Amino acid sequence: MHSNNSIKPGRTFLISGFIRRITSESISVEATDIDFMYAPSVN
């Protein structure tokens, strides 16, 4: 499939990297929420 409308591999790589960064940020935010939930019981 050699059409000019096809998504370039470089653009796909940028999009996948962007999604991966958002996913890792949301995972770290969830971990912070868990720390806030368990912090009062630890203290």
pLDDT in tens, the chain (43 residues): 555 666 666 778 788 888 888 888 777 777 777 676 666 655 5
Per-residue DSSP letters for 8-21?
PHHHHHHHHHHHHH
pTM: 0.39
Tokens of 38: 């368990």
**Distance, C-alpha 13 to centroid of its chain:** 14
Q: How far does Cα 3 stand from its chain's mean position? A: 30
Cα separation, 27 vs 1, whole angstroms: 37
pLDDT at 15: 82
Which tokens is 13 given? 């790589």
